[in-house]
Amino acid sequence: MTRTGGITETHVELVRASVEQIPPGSVTTYGELARHCGLSNPRFVGTILRTDGHDVPWYRVIRADGKLASPNAREQEALLRAEGVTVVDRRVDMRRHIHYFDE
């Protein structure tokens, strides 16, 4: 079944399951998650997390430049800091905390 923009229920479930695999204290990017899940556009990940990601650790998915840009950036920062993620000026130290998915 296809949702808006070519996102299928399979994509939604894969994104949700993949976000659950990001270890505490780590982050991944919208682009890395899109690549891992076979999505053609990182924005699809944002759409999925916004509509179906409230019960997964959505806050571990950030922009490629490390900047926290979600509408809930303050909450996101607090949750990441609680897991030991280094955040300075609303930017994550990507070299230290990036998670890549094994293929």
- pLDDT per residue as tens digits for the range 63-87: 999 999 778 999 999 999 999 999 9
For residue 82, the SS3 value is helix
Flag whether pLDDT at 1 surpasses 60: no
What's residue 70's pLDDT? 72
Q: Quote the DSSP letter at residue 56.
A: T
Better-scored residue on pLDDT, 6 or 40: 40
Burial of 30 (0-12, 13-18, 19+ CB in 10 A): buried
Domains in the chain, start-ordered, CATH in brackets? 4-97 (1.10.10.10)
User: What are the b/e assignments for 34-55, b being 16+ CB within 10 Å?
Assistant: bbbbebeebebbbbbbeebbee
How many CB atoms neighbour CB 80 within 10 A?
23
What's residue 103's pLDDT? 63
What's residue 43's pLDDT? 94
pTM of full prediction above 0.85:
yes
What's residue 66's pLDDT? 96
Beta pairing, strands 87-88 & 91-92: antiparallel
What's residue 69's pLDDT? 78
